[in-house]
Chain A
Amino acid sequence: MDHQETQETKDIVNRCNKCGLCTSSCPVYQQVLIEAANPRGRIQLVKYFLEGKIPFSKRFKEIILTCLLCETCVVNCPSGVRHDQVFNNLRAELVKQYGLNWKKRLVFQLLTNEKLLHSSIIFARLGRNWLIENLAKGMRIGNIPAGKLPLVNPRPFRDQFAGVICPDGEPKGRIFYFTGCFTNYFAGNVGQAVVNVLKKLRLEIEIPAAEDCCGIAAILSGERDLPLKNVQQNISTLSRARVDAVLVDCATCGAAFRKEYIDLLKRKGLDTTQAEILKGKTQDVMEYVAERIDELPLRKDYTSEKIRVTYHDPCHLVRAQGVSSAPRKILQALPQVEYVEMEEANACCGGGGTFQFDFPEVAKGITGKKIKRIRETGARVVATGCPGCRVTIGGNMDEQDRIAVLHPLQLLDSALTGKGLDKFPFAGTGRLC
């Protein structure tokens, strides 16, 4: 670590009073019940490392990486310790000293090169969909059977649109819709729902052509150089002044724009003026829509029984961005929905980006608990505003659960069009979103 990072890390770890109140909040600790998995423990270990008492050992690395970055400890810390910043700095140091493993490096290189990503995905679509449908059905990636991984969109979502999408009626405003990689390549139907809803709100929707991956996966893995180009490109495209808001449908992209970009630029000693503008303009699409829910012509002519729906709070929405009431407000407004709250709705689903692939045994317990909570509600749909969570939850659910895993706006869209819920596939059928 450079001097600045070392000092920052030292300052944070010295704030820890070792009170231990973070203990019970950590989903990883709850699974393994050893101090090494306790946020307090990791902070203490970093302190010993900075004091030169322990080297960058294999065990130390493992302890630092066994963290979902869910930030539950941060929220629960009475002393205001920013555990996430400490662990991010350590991850970056790890990458500096040892490099990333080849799989992650390959993925991040793809994600930071939009042209390459675009063409690779189109080729991958045929291969992947055919491969998984026919050959790899029994294989697993982490805890998720290959057959339950999301299918690639027939055509990248953004390719369907050129220029500005016109609203239904006289335009009331203009927004940027940042689709993110997931909607673009996997969840075209979420993108379609978002567009439908925004059109009904009479907005001109611009889907920026020069959109790059938000880069957060690389940043949170400790790779702070590779994604810099994407970060700067996105900031320059999206901070332009002529739209009212920049809307995202992905918890993680939103967290990047509102939090990680500014952190990264500051770290690199770069100007943050434009990044601050982007931060101010960014909203999760659910927040934007919830404020205007009364303007939408929801169909009241539902005759069939209401469908029970529950909502899962993604870490990157509830903690990183403080978004929790907006999705509930939307769901509770829907005439066809009977909304029920699950217990511990804001507990992490165990995905944690690549955590579930790096530590499948630990992740299995955490995800299992989440799924138990979902099942307890008796809901037919679990809605959540994060593609990562949808993949994790859907991928770990059984087909016989007959529970669909959706973005809340898909339900809202169906309330506008009258499309029945039977059109949504259940989890475990390979078509998650």
Chain B
Amino acid sequence: MLSQVVKDELKAIVGEGRYFDNEEDLLLYSYDAFIVQGQPEAALLPVSTEEVSRIMKVASRERIPVTARGAGTNLAGGSVPTRGGIVLVFTKMNRIIEIDKVNRVAVFQPGVINMEFQKELTKRGLYYPPDPGSMAVSTMGGNVAENAGGPRAVKYGVTSDYLLGLEVVLASGEVLRTGGKTLKNVTGYNLTQLFCGSEGTLGLITEITVKLIPLPETKRTLQAVFKNLSDAGRTVARVFEIGILPVALEIVDKVSINVIEDYMHLGLPREAEALLLIEVDGPEAAVAGESGRLTQLCREMGAHEVKVAGTVEENDEIWKARRSAYGAGARLRPTAIAEDCTVPVGNLVAMFQEVTRIAEKYQLLIPVVAHAGDGNLHPLILTDSSDQEEMKRVVKAIDEISRKAVELGGTLTGEHGIGIAKREILPFELGEVAMEITRNIKKTFDPLNILNPDKVVLIV
């Protein structure tokens, strides 16, 4: 429990309006988009590195757990303060410090919203590709801490591929600067990347430097309907074989198609096993050529319907089905849990089939959409968290899906993170050697175990 003296000290650092310890506001910082909750004892909204540093000095002196939080959209419970203590909310630390056209880099604070950042770049003809599903709301600090991906990862990679430097406040309150504005940097260990995806367990990110690329001239999406899922899976592999690297390659499965159709009435073919979405970008001539070749390829591979967007509106129309998948599913049942298993692209169809089998085995409704181009599946488990019997089956199904992904040469999570959701199963993939090193890294940065404790790796 925080004493009144400590509370007063913390409040004095940020001041009225950016400090909360009343019941209502604490409840408001007790959750994220995952199903687990935990109430903090104080919520603070710093606006500068100095404030974060002063807060951490108090926290380490008093051994208070500190959980960093951006927009609170984490799907694995990473921003839930399960041990109480302090929630550090970075939403007000949201200044874009610099967009440097000459060096093609941007420097900003962690509370900047991904989409807001994108808008500023678009005005200048620049581009930062990572586009997690939450991009309209999620903060860049959270994107870095989770190493967020998104559909465009096929061609452009994920957050870590753009990250050049960080400013991090350590558990002790000391300020660490890593990397910088150069694209190349092999000076010392790559501490920058160590923090990327560390989920707030190693330090608190207070400033971010990323590289930028030119905004592609144009983009075009193509939608192909397949009667057989395996044909769609083989098509994914063939796209690369014929020498095309698409921006995004998405598969919507049969359960999803029907769930979407029930709600949106878009006229999707209910009998189809897969909807394949392919987006290409680049100069107009290249895009026209590639979309022509892809249309032909899809037909050859057994697609019985191929549609190419001719306008921006048609492009959006095609993406509408994919984008509605979460909402259409979420409307069916009170709880929707987005899974994130990832396999090598060659095992994509096998993983789809496993999910179907597991859904039947545990009698659950699990529509699947996948970033097929990088083997990242999102089975959406539709359930009701108040139904304890069903939740037992859900837990078993998630466990089995996760293990299958690893057995197929894949990984537990492609872009959502370990958080609380997958910490028990983490050793299954990492093994004891990697677990020991992971624990030691955690202890090096956070000897008192106060930074987002109980997340990712459990320290006993």
- A interface list, Cβ under 8 A from B: 14-15, 17-21, 23-25, 33-36, 38, 41, 44-45, 48, 53-54, 57, 59-60, 63, 77-80
Contact of A36 with B331 in the complex, beta carbons under 8 Å = no
Q: Is B127 an interface residue (CB 8 A)?
A: no
Q: Which residues on the A side are within 8 Å of B73 (C-beta)?
A: 19-21, 23
Q: Which residue of A lies closest to B135 (CB)?
A: A24
Task: List which B10-67 residues lie within 8 A (CB) of chain A.
Answer: 20, 22-25, 27-29, 31-33, 45
B421 to chain A, nearest CB (A): 14
Q: Which residues on the B side are within 8 Å of A20 (C-beta)?
A: 32-33, 71-73, 134, 137-138
Q: Which residues on the A side are within 8 Å of B22 (C-beta)?
A: 59
Taking A17-B33, A57-B24 as contacts, is the C-beta distance between A33 and B92 under 8 angstroms?
Answer: yes
Q: Which residue of A lies closest to B327 (CB)?
A: A78
Contact of B72 with A35 in the complex, beta carbons under 8 Å = yes
Contact of B33 with A34 in the complex, beta carbons under 8 Å = no
Contact of A35 with B134 in the complex, beta carbons under 8 Å = no
* Contact sample, A vs B, 9 pairs, CB 8 Å cutoff: A18-B31, A21-B134, A35-B25, A35-B28, A36-B24, A36-B25, A44-B27, A44-B31, A59-B24
Q: Which residues on the B side are within 8 Å of A25 (C-beta)?
A: 136
Contact of A21 with B136 in the complex, beta carbons under 8 Å = yes
Q: Which residues on the A side are within 8 Å of B324 (C-beta)?
A: 78
- B interface list, Cβ under 8 A from A: 20, 22-25, 27-29, 31-33, 45, 71-73, 89, 91-92, 94, 111, 113, 115, 134, 136-138, 324, 326-327, 330-331, 334-336
Contact of A35 with B92 in the complex, beta carbons under 8 Å = no
Interface centre among A35, A41, A57, A60 (most CB of B within 10 A): A35
Q: Which residues on the A side are within 8 Å of B94 (C-beta)?
A: 33
How many Å lie between the Cα of A44 and that of B324 in the bound state?
Answer: 23
Q: Which residues on the B side are within 8 Å of A24 (C-beta)?
A: 71, 113, 115, 136-137
Contact of A18 with B33 in the complex, beta carbons under 8 Å = yes
B313 to chain A, nearest CB (A): 14
Q: Which residue of A lies closest to B332 (CB)?
A: A79
- Shortest Cβ-Cβ A-B pairs, 5 listed: A78-B327, A35-B28, A23-B137, A33-B91, A79-B330
How many Å lie between the Cα of A60 and that of B22 in the bound state?
Answer: 11
Contact of A36 with B28 in the complex, beta carbons under 8 Å = yes
Contact of A79 with B331 in the complex, beta carbons under 8 Å = yes
B37 to chain A, nearest CB (A): 9
Contact of A17 with B335 in the complex, beta carbons under 8 Å = yes
How many Å lie between the Cα of A36 and that of B330 in the bound state?
Answer: 23
How many Å lie between the Cα of A230 and that of B13 in the bound state?
Answer: 54
Taking A21-B136, A21-B137, A33-B92 as contacts, is the C-beta distance between A54 and B23 under 8 angstroms?
Answer: yes
B297 to chain A, nearest CB (A): 32
Contact of A78 with B326 in the complex, beta carbons under 8 Å = yes
Contact of A80 with B24 in the complex, beta carbons under 8 Å = no
How many Å lie between the Cα of A44 and that of B80 in the bound state?
Answer: 15
Q: Which residues on the B side are within 8 Å of A80 (C-beta)?
A: 327, 331
Q: Which residue of B lies closest to A57 (CB)?
A: B24
Q: Which residue of A lies closest to B31 (CB)?
A: A18
Contact of B31 with A59 in the complex, beta carbons under 8 Å = no
Q: Which residue of A lies closest to B25 (CB)?
A: A36
A73 to chain B, nearest CB (A): 11
Contact of A34 with B334 in the complex, beta carbons under 8 Å = no
Contact of B45 with A14 in the complex, beta carbons under 8 Å = no
Q: Which residue of B lies closest to A77 (CB)?
A: B327
Q: Which residues on the A side are within 8 Å of B71 (C-beta)?
A: 20, 23-24
Contact of B137 with A34 in the complex, beta carbons under 8 Å = no
Contact of A59 with B91 in the complex, beta carbons under 8 Å = no
Contact of A17 with B330 in the complex, beta carbons under 8 Å = yes
**Which of B27, B28, B115, B330 meets A19, CB within 8 Å?**
B330
Q: Which residue of B lies closest to A55 (CB)?
A: B23
How many Å lie between the Cα of A63 and that of B23 in the bound state?
Answer: 13
B375 to chain A, nearest CB (A): 24
Contact of A34 with B327 in the complex, beta carbons under 8 Å = no
Q: Which residues on the A side are within 8 Å of B31 (C-beta)?
A: 18, 44
Q: Which residues on the A side are within 8 Å of B113 (C-beta)?
A: 24
How many Å lie between the Cα of A21 and that of B136 in the bound state?
Answer: 7
Taking A20-B134, A33-B91 as contacts, is the C-beta distance between A53 and B327 under 8 angstroms?
Answer: no
Contact of B92 with A45 in the complex, beta carbons under 8 Å = no
A117 to chain B, nearest CB (A): 39
How many Å lie between the Cα of A63 and that of B31 in the bound state?
Answer: 18
Q: Which residues on the A side are within 8 Å of B91 (C-beta)?
A: 33-34
How many Å lie between the Cα of A48 and that of B39 in the bound state?
Answer: 13
Contact of B137 with A60 in the complex, beta carbons under 8 Å = no
How many Å lie between the Cα of A25 and that of B331 in the bound state?
Answer: 20
Contact of B24 with A34 in the complex, beta carbons under 8 Å = no
**Which of A18, A45, A54 meets B32, CB within 8 Å?**
A18
How many Å lie between the Cα of A36 and that of B28 in the bound state?
Answer: 7
Contact of B28 with A45 in the complex, beta carbons under 8 Å = yes
Q: Which residues on the A side are within 8 Å of B25 (C-beta)?
A: 34-36, 59
